[in-house]
């Protein structure tokens, strides 16, 4: 079967920075299914030749020395452009004709990738429905939607309702690029393809879990968007919750899209509701020094660029094990890591005084930029009575082979083309995530909100974040990548 990827928002940043380089790399690696075409759609008045030329410039800039001009020429033969105003219903029948011509009358599975401004998502869906382009009686028709999927529960629901009028749920692919990361998928393999981790992956052995997505960058040119969004919408509702779900979910019976997503959804359903005073104590809010001077940020903006949250998952496996989630911009380094901190040994045998209390065993799962896993455990100091010290066992994810594995978009685009939805978010997942985040945002915008602490750029967020952990007799694992990339 032939495949067509139709990209709405062809002249946008995402298309040139992520989608086309990813499709080109897939092509170069021989992974793009044969007979695949890419059709860019936007209002700009290009023709296919002009668009190809523009993509050649942007892709070579993006890939730098890795850019292969000859390979790009071969790739570009499959790239086409159609100028269309999404707001104009009359532009869609000619688009359907154009796609038919590009496909040469063959039956082709189609993926409509909506990479437009979010304000155009619903119109695009409606127009696809009205023009009969969503009908999949002859060949598959799928739709991919970029983040953000709504800005709260209400808008996400509305978007889902619009989608449901035109597409079945199994035709809908909601992107969270964190799920396309190899190291995130590796968490599932670590947990469910080994027999040594699962037996201890529960409240009997684990004290708590920390999920940190730290970024050293500040909001930069995206201040206008970011100030309306803030870290809870920008990072927690999607990326951190995805990491939470894959860390906490039960094993599905089989690795199929719906069974995997059923298990993920159960995690969000089990997140304990916050009530009353919880909103003031469940976390820490911060804003980096200088945020208010960023171009595009509202005067006296209350938007958090840092947040730490404590969530509980009320089920048999996790009862009593807090999950600490934290993310922020302007921090000391870029690192995404999941730290599983185990309970202390029940009986202390070695050492005296303070030395006798061993540091807890930890499993540090490094998602990016370093990719690997580190196990922290105690060992004997050689040549010294029975003194103990902490030692590490390292596993480097990229150190085991020579293959250059794909970036998240390559994996997700390929899955969408081939119809595998396992790594995409389902409607109930997205709505449940908003159901958890919305009340926190509301409480943090109310007069009862906890204080918004200012933090200096280059650290680990406000001091109060560390103090908050101290008060719970725990401490953040504030270490930049423990495994060099």
- Provide, rounded to whole angstroms, the least separation between the CB of residue 215 and ligand BG6: 6
Q: Is the dihedral of CA 153, 154, 157, 158 positive or negative?
A: negative
Task: Give the single-character DSSP code of 169.
Answer: G
Packed helices 20-28 and 69-76: angle between N→C axes, nearest 10 degrees: 100
Closest contact distance (angstroms) between CB of 405 and ligand BG6 is 15
Q: In the complex with ligand BG6, which residue's Cβ is closer, 3 or 147? A: 147
CB of 445 to ligand BG6, least distance (A): 20
234 lines the binding site for ligand BG6 (CB under 6 A)? yes
CB closer to ligand BG6 out of 147 and 261: 147
Tell me whether residue 167 or residue 178 sits nearer to ligand BG6 (CB atom): 178
146 near ligand BG6 (CB under 6 A):
no
Q: Closer to ligand BG6 at the Cβ: 109 or 234? A: 234
C-alpha distances (whole Å) from 319 to each of 8, 269, 409 are 45, 14, 35
**Pair 245, 262: CB distance under 8 Å:** no
Residues 215 and 328 sit within 8 Å (Cβ to Cβ): yes
Q: Which residues contact 228 (CB under 8 A, 6 or more apart)?
A: 151, 303
Q: Is the Cβ–Cβ distance between 423 and 412 less than 8 Å?
A: yes
Shortest CB 425 distance to ligand BG6, Å: 13
CB of 314 to ligand BG6, least distance (A): 28
Task: State the number of binding residues for ligand BG6 (CB under 6 A).
Answer: 4
Residues 278-317 that bind ligand BG6 (CB under 6 A): none
> What is d(CA 248, CA 234) in angstroms, rounded to the nearest whole number?
21
**Spatial CA neighbour of 409 closest among 430, 424, 429:** 424
CB of 46 to ligand BG6, least distance (A): 27
> Per CB under 6 A, which of residues 155..214 are in contact with ligand BG6?
177
d(CA 330, CA 215): 6
Minimum separation from the CB atom of position 226 to ligand BG6 (A): 7
Radius of gyration of the chain (CA): 24
Each residue of 449-463: b (16+ CB within 10 Å) or e?
Answer: bbebbebeeebbbbe
Q: Does 147 bind ligand BG6 (CB under 6 A)?
A: yes
How many whole angstroms separate alpha carbon 304 and alpha carbon 149?
Answer: 20
Other Cβ atoms less than 10 A from the Cβ of 60: the count is 16
Pairing of strands 283-288, 306-311: antiparallel
For residues 423 and 416, give the distance between their C-alpha atoms in angstroms, rounded to a whole number: 9
CB 292: neighbour CB atoms within 10 A?
Answer: 15
By CB under 6 A, residue 233 contacts ligand BG6: no
Binding mask 95-134 for ligand BG6 (x = CB under 6 A): ----------------------------------------
Nearer to ligand BG6, 146 or 207 (CB): 146
Q: Does 429 bind ligand BG6 (CB under 6 A)?
A: no
Task: Assess 371 for contact with ligand BG6 (CB under 6 A).
Answer: no
CB nearer to ligand BG6: give 231 or 249: 231
Where are any strands of DSSP class E within 313-464?
323-328, 335-342, 362-368, 372-380, 388-396, 452-455
Which residue number has the CB closest to ligand BG6? 234
Instruction: State how far the Cα of 261 lies from the Cα of 259, in Å rounded to an integer.
Output: 5
- Using rule CB under 6 A, residue 415 touches ligand BG6: no
CA angle 178, 183, 186 (to 5 degrees): 115
Q: Which of 3, 208, 239, 312 is catalytic?
A: 239
Residue closer to ligand BG6 by CB (options 118, 351) is 118
Give the integer Cα–Cα distance in Å for 361 and 470.
18
Pick between residue 215 and residue 429 the one whose CB is nearest to ligand BG6: 215
Q: Between 36 and 327, name the residue whose CB sits nearer to ligand BG6.
A: 327
Q: How far is the CB of 63 from ligand BG6 (least distance, A)?
A: 18
Min dist CB 403 to ligand BG6, Å, is: 20
CB hemisphere CA count around 43 (13 angstroms): 8
Examine the residue annotation and report whether 208 is marked as an active-site residue of this protein: no
- Tell which one of 103, 215, 227, 371 touches ligand BG6 (CB under 6 A): 215
Provide the 8-state DSSP code for 271.
B
Residues that bind ligand BG6 (CB under 6 A): 147, 177, 215, 234
Catalytic residues: 239
């Amino acid at each position: 079967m032939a495949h067509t990827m139709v990209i709405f928002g062809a002249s946008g940043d995402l298309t040139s920075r992520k989608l086309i380089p990813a499709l080109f790399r897939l092509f170069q690696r021989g992974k793009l299914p044969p007979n695949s075409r890419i059709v860019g759609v936007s209002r700009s008045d290009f023709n296919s030749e002009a668009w190809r030329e523009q993509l050649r410039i942007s892709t070579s800039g993006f890939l730098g020395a890795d850019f292969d001009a000859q390979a790009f020429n071969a790739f570009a033969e499959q790239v086409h452009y159609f100028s269309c105003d999404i707001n104009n219903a009359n532009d869609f029948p000619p688009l359907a004709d154009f796609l038919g011509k590009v496909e040469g009358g063959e039956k082709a599975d189609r993926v409509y990738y909506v990479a437009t401004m979010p304000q155009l998502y619903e119109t695009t869906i409606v127009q696809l429905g009205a023009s009969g382009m969503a009908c999949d009686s002859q060949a598959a028709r799928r739709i991919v939607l970029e983040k953000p999927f709504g800005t709260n529960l209400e808008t996400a629901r509305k978007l889902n309702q619009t989608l449901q009028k035109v597409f079945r749920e199994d035709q809908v692919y909601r992107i969270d690029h964190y799920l396309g990361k190899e190291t995130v998928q590796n968490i599932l393999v670590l947990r469910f393809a080994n027999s040594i981790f699962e037996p201890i992956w529960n409240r009997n052995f684990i004290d708590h879990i920390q999920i940190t997505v730290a970024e050293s960058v500040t909001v930069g040119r995206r201040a206008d968007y970011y100030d309306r969004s803030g870290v809870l919408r920008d990072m927690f509702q999607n990326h951190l919750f995805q990491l939470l779900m894959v860390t906490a979910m039960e094993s599905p019976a089989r690795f199929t899209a719906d069974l995997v997503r059923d298990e993920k959804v159960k995690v969000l359903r089990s997140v304990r509701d916050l009530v009353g005073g919880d909103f003031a104590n469940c976390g820490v809010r911060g804003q980096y020094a200088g945020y208010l001077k960023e171009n595009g940020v509202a005067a006296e903006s209350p938007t958090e660029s840092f947040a730490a949250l404590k969530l509980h998952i009320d089920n048999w496996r996790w009862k009593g094990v807090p999950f600490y989630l934290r993310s922020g911009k302007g921090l000391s380094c870029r690192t995404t890591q999941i730290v599983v901190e185990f309970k202390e040994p029940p009986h202390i045998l070695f050492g005296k005084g303070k030395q006798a209390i061993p540091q807890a065993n930890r499993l540090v799962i490094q998602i990016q930029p370093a990719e690997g896993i580190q196990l922290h455990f105690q060992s004997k100091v050689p040549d010294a009575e029975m003194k103990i010290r902490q030692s590490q066992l390292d596993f480097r994810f990229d150190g085991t082979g020579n293959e250059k594995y794909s970036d998240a978009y390559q994996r997700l685009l390929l899955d969408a083309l081939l119809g595998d939805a396992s790594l995409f978010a389902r409607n109930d997942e997205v709505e449940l995530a908003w159901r958890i985040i919305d009340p926190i945002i509301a409480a943090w915008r109310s007069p009862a909100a906890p204080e918004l602490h200012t933090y200096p750029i280059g650290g680990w967020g406000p001091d109060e974040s560390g103090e908050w952990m101290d008060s719970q007799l725990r401490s953040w694992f504030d270490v930049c990548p423990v495994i060099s990339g």
